[in-house]
Amino acid sequence: MSMTEEEKFRFDLTGYLIRPSILEADEIAAIVDQIDRIKHDKESLPPEQRAVPGGASSLLIDHPKVTDVLHEIIGPNVRLEGTFCVWRSKGEWAGDLHGGGPQQIDPIFGYRCAHGRIHAGMVRVAFELTDVSKEDGATHFIPGSHKSNFPMHPDHMSLEPGKRSEFLTSYECPAGSAIFFTENLCHAGPHWQRDTPRVAVLNAYAHLATHWHRPTIAPEVMAALPRQKQAWFREPWIADFRTAPATHNTVERFVESAEPTVRLDHKP
Ligand SMILES: O=C(O)CCC(=O)C(=O)O
Ligand SMILES: [Fe+2]
């Protein structure tokens, strides 16, 4: 299932896109259980499942209904370069509005569309693992701000009730939905409003040639992933010119090699 023309139009116009209900009920339950244990009872999990993207959540690395969108809006060569999970209780939040405007997160991670193709530098995918309503306080967006020609105006940067931009919006979706957004879109993770927690996994994908987040995945988590999933964390390079013709850093080449993923032994 590739991206429809309507989905492309929508993503380009607004900077985000929802694919509802891409996960099955048993998949959702397994990932929710894993995140519950990660946050509240880590020791009950084997070491390789004590963080995303290990264990049940590894399903999300390369879910086909996500990868086909990424290949359309980033390009054929994509890496997964950062991931985290949330168990957000009422009143907790991730932060203020950020991104948006002409400067973009950095030009190399910028949002472009040329000759009918979208080239988004960095794309976040939020996997919502509970039903979400617009009032709950999931990720909020200023639609269109990813290609705004003027810097974000202070009048549109508040999350305070009564002071919010008329353009600020969020989404409603069933559990198991994926929300894609370019990191250049002005967005925020506001205070969670619901009595039951927001349970979600947020992955950041980027072009194979770039690297924004320093890798922080635990080596034991990475080592336990199948080679095909490890390939999403391969080193950020395109071509090796020591061979003729040049060797390209494809998934197939990585899978057949004994090469490690990106270095993971950094201390903060
Ligand atoms: O937690 C959220 O809802 C948004 C977090 C955020 O800013 C991001 O994922 O880039
Ligand atoms: Fe963000």
Domains of the chain: 5-256 (2.60.120.620)
Residue nearest to atom 1 of ligand 1 (CA): 189
pLDDT digits (tens, 9 = 90+) for 107-143: 899 999 999 999 999 999 999 999 999 999 999 999 9
pLDDT (average), residues 185-206: 98
pLDDT (average), residues 225-244: 97
Residue nearest to atom 2 of ligand 1 (CA): 189
CB atoms within 10 A of CB 24: 11
Task: Decide if pLDDT at 164 tops 80.
Answer: yes
Residues 55/48, Cβ–Cβ less than 8 Å: yes
pLDDT at 266: 73
pLDDT (average), residues 176-201: 98
Nearest ligand (C-alpha, residue 105): 2
238 Cβ neighbours under 8 A, 6+ residues apart: 77, 208, 209, 248, 249
Residues 76/69, Cβ–Cβ less than 8 Å: no
Least trusted range by pLDDT, from 26-30, 79-83, 198-202, 214-218:
214-218
How far apart CA 190 and CA 84 sit, in angstroms, is 17
pLDDT (average), residues 129-158: 98
Q: Is the CB of 132 under 6 A from ligand 1?
A: no
Task: Decide if pLDDT at 105 tops 70.
Answer: yes
Three-class DSSP category at 230: helix
Cα 125 versus chain centre, distance: 3
pLDDT digits (tens, 9 = 90+) for 52-61: 999 999 999 9
Residues 101/157, Cβ–Cβ less than 8 Å: no
CA angle 62/67/73 to nearest 5° reads 145
Q: Is the CB of 202 under 6 A from ligand 1?
A: yes
